[in-house]
């Protein structure tokens, strides 16, 4: 398999973390086009993903794009029943939380992080505090849903980590940076869960600084 991926991208991190968690990372041909230089807009990547976005996985005759379906594909291919259960109830829960994080939780979180953290990394100008404030208000609405969910369980589905945690927590490393302006102290269950996630070997191996070192 060949994975086109990038450092500092929460969408790429979640896929690389799944590969580490499944013990597959070392067997994948990892390509890191430089997004700042626009290398992801190459003919090579367009041929396998018409959106020219990362992550993109080539597996045999399949070209896979969109991080969450890629993660489920990798789990099912590896038969990772515990990490990505296939019973109807669990699979519904996984898909629901993945859909929710894309549409709501991480959508608002990434809007905050773009202004407070990522713009600086990409040399895209100063943060717009008005945009941060709008995203913050929306983020808090959905953060409360996650906070309540994590009140009675260690991970999104229950007592064990699943692929749903890797999806919902994809931006955890960036959200915990000092200047991120994400009010995690108001959500102690989310903060504790983020820390639990960051302590997992697969998540630690994909921390932004480690990925930068690996790419150097
Ligand atoms: N919905 C896509 C989002 C992919 C995405 O937006 N990737 C970003 C990096 S996080 C990217 O490739 N941006 C480059 C561009 O849009 O030109 C997914 O889940 O994989």
Ligand 1, atom 1: closest residue by C-alpha: 66
pTM above threshold 0.85 = yes
Question: For 147-173, b where at least 16 C-beta lie within 10 A, e where not — what string?
Answer: bebbeeeebbbeeebbbbbbbbbbbbb
Ligand 1, atom 10: closest residue by C-alpha: 9
CA of 151 to the centre of ligand 1 (A): 31
- Give me the domains of the chain, ranges plus CATH numbers: 2-82 (3.40.30.10), 88-203 (1.20.1050.10)
String of DSSP letters for the chain: -EEE--TT-HHHHHHHHHHHHTT-GGGSEEE---TTTTGGGSHHHHHH-TT--S-EEEETTEEEESHHHHHHHHHHHHT-TTTS--SHHHHHHHHHHHHHIIIIIHHHHHHHHIIIIIHHHTT-----HHHHHHHHHHHHHHHHHHHHHTTS-SSSSSSS--HHHHHHTTTHHHHTSGGG---GGG-HHHHHHHHHHHTSHHHHHT-HHHHHHHH-
Evaluate if residue 211 carries a pLDDT over 70. Answer: no
CA of 200 to the centre of ligand 1 (A): 25
Who has greater pLDDT, 24 or 210?
24
Residue 92 CA, distance from chain mean position: 19
pLDDT per residue as tens digits for the range 193-207: 999 999 999 999 998
* pLDDT-wise least confident of 175-179, 187-191, 198-202: 175-179
Q: Choose among 12, 8, 2: nearest CA to 212.
A: 8
pLDDT per residue as tens digits for the range 126-156: 999 999 999 999 999 999 999 999 999 999 9
Mean pLDDT of 149-169: 97
Q: Which residue shows structure tokens 């398999």?
A: 1
Mean pLDDT of 67-72: 98
Q: Give how far Cα 154 sits from Cα of 10, 33, 42, 192, Å.
A: 22, 36, 42, 9
Mean pLDDT of 70-90: 98
CA of 4 to the centre of ligand 1 (A): 11
Evaluate if residue 123 carries a pLDDT over 90. Answer: no
């Amino acid at each position: 398999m060949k994975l086109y991926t990038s450092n500092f991208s929460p969408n790429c991190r979640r896929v690389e973390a799944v590969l580490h968690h499944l013990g597959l990372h070392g067997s994948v041909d990892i390509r890191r086009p430089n997004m700042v230089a626009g290398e992801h807009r190459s003919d090579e990547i367009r041929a396998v993903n018409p959106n020219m976005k990362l992550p993109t996985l080539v597996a045999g005759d399949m070209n896979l794009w969109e991080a969450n379906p890629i993660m489920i594909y990798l789990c099912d291919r590896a038969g990772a029943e515990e990490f990505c259960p296939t019973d109807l109830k669990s699979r519904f829960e996984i898909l629901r939380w993945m859909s929710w994080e894309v549409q709501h939780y991480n959508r608002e979180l990434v809007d905050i992080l773009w202004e407070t953290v990522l713009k600086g990394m990409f040399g895209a100008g100063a943060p717009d505090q008005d945009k941060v404030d709008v995203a913050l208000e929306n983020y808090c609405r959905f953060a409360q849903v996650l906070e309540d969910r994590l009140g009675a369980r260690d991970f999104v589905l229950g007592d064990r980590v699943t692929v749903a945690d890797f999806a919902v927590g994809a931006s955890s490393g960036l959200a915990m940076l000092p200047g991120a302006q994400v009010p995690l102290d108001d959500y102690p269950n989310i903060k504790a869960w983020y820390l639990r996630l960051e302590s997992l070997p697969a998540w630690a191996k994909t921390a932004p600084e480690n990925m930068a070192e690996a790419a150097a």
